[in-house]
């Protein structure tokens, strides 16, 4: 049975770039194949990595377990992008949630590898 023949789900995983190495190593250990796309986005315009993972629905729980294990959120203070004349020389800091993962799943009607 070829793993590629049974692909019926596309999982798009968007991860903070700081967490990508651990995640990709664990995905490889778990036998997952993926395509990596460098990106950036969000309100903080931080570097992110998008992984495209083609799987069979049966393996979704294992994939989600790996993502949850590797991609934790944390709070971090970052400089706000606002002008504050009363605070010259010292940037205004805001607390932001960093890390974690955003996961989308899309049903695959047809998969071919040529």
Is 3-107 assigned to CATH 3.30.70.120?
yes
Kindly give the confidence (pLDDT) of every residue in the chain, 114 residues in length, as a single tens digit, with 9 standing for 90 and above: 344 568 999 999 999 888 999 999 999 999 999 999 998 766 556 788 999 999 999 999 999 999 999 998 766 666 666 555 555 666 677 666 667 899 999 999 999 888
Nearest residue to 81 (alpha-carbon basis) of 37, 42, 49: 42
**Cβ-based neighbour number of residue 91 at 10 Å:** 12
Instruction: Domain ranges for the chain, please list them.
Output: 3-107
**Structure pTM?**
0.76
């Amino acid at each position: 049975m070829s793993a590629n023949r049974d692909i019926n789900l596309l999982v798009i995983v968007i991860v903070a770039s700081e967490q990508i190495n651990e995640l990709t190593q664990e995905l490889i250990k778990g036998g997952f194949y993926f395509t990596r796309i460098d990106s950036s986005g969000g309100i903080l315009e931080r570097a992110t990595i998008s992984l495209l993972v083609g799987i069979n629905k049966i393996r979704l729980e294992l994939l989600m377990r790996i993502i949850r294990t590797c991609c934790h959120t944390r709070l971090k203070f970052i400089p706000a992008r606002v002008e504050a004349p009363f605070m010259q020389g010292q940037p205004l800091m805001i607390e932001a949630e960093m890390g974690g993962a955003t996961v989308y799943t899309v049903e695959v009607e047809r998969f071919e590898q040529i």
